[in-house]
């Protein structure tokens, strides 16, 4: 069965053939490798750990209602789309309320933290009165989707 994969580094979509069970790395057309646990419908093992891709769960991000991109462990920049200084997670370049490199997202298993680097307008966390400004951090809850408004664009983080 063919599966559609979105590279978390460059955002390119590509197809790969499901080749069995386990953790596989598929080459992205942008020169990266994307780790995927197959088959996709497997749930976390009973009594297993809460450890990201290896447990069948992963952090994902949706920008402005777009497709969900899987995020592996690491650090990602978040900001407005820019050819000079591209971000790992980009909001549309037409959103002039968003800074080009406003935040960093650190992912480690079930833990994810958003740290504001530099922004003119605060990042707003939906469902709360939290507004994040330069230097502040916010731990994303793993149990429910969290919407963070960057400029005028909603960015949804989830751990499923």
Q: Dump pLDDT digits (tens) for 78-108.
A: 999 887 778 899 999 889 888 888 999 999 9
Long-range CB contacts (within 8 A, 24+) of 45-54: 49/109, 50/109, 50/110, 50/142, 51/109, 51/110, 52/107, 52/108, 52/109, 52/110, 53/23, 54/23
The residue with greater pLDDT, 30 or 42, is 30
C-alpha to C-alpha distance for 110 and 131, rounded to whole angstroms: 23
pLDDT digits (tens, 9 = 90+) for 50-63: 333 344 588 999 99
Instruction: State the CATH number of the domain containing residue 112.
Output: 2.60.200.20
Find the domain containing 110 and state its range: 57-159
Say if pTM beats, i.e. exceeds, 0.75.
Answer: no
Residues 72, 103, single domain; the answer is yes
Q: How confident is the model at residue 36 (pLDDT cuts 50, 70, 90)?
A: confident
Name the strands in the sheet holding 137-139, side by side, starting at the edge strand that comes first in the sequence.
Answer: 89-91, 74-80, 103-108, 111-116, 137-139
* Residue 51 falls inside a structural domain: no
For the chain, the average pLDDT equals 81
């Amino acid at each position: 069965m063919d599966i559609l994969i979105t590279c978390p580094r460059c955002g390119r979509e590509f197809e790969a053939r499901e080749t069995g069970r386990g953790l596989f790395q598929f080459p992205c057309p942008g020169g990266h490798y994307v780790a995927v646990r197959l088959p996709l419908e497997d749930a976390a093992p009973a009594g297993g750990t809460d450890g990201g891709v290896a447990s069948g769960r992963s952090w994902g991000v949706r920008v402005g209602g777009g497709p969900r991109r899987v995020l592996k462990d690491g650090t990602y920049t978040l900001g407005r789309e820019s050819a000079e200084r591209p971000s790992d997670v980009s909001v549309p370049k037409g959103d002039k309320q968003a800074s080009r490199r406003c935040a960093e997202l650190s992912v480690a298993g079930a833990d994810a933290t958003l740290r504001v680097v530099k922004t003119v307008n605060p990042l707003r966390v939906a469902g709360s009165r939290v507004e994040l400004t330069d230097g502040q951090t916010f731990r994303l809850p793993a149990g429910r989707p969290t919407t963070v408004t960057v400029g005028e664009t909603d960015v949804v983080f989830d751990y499923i």
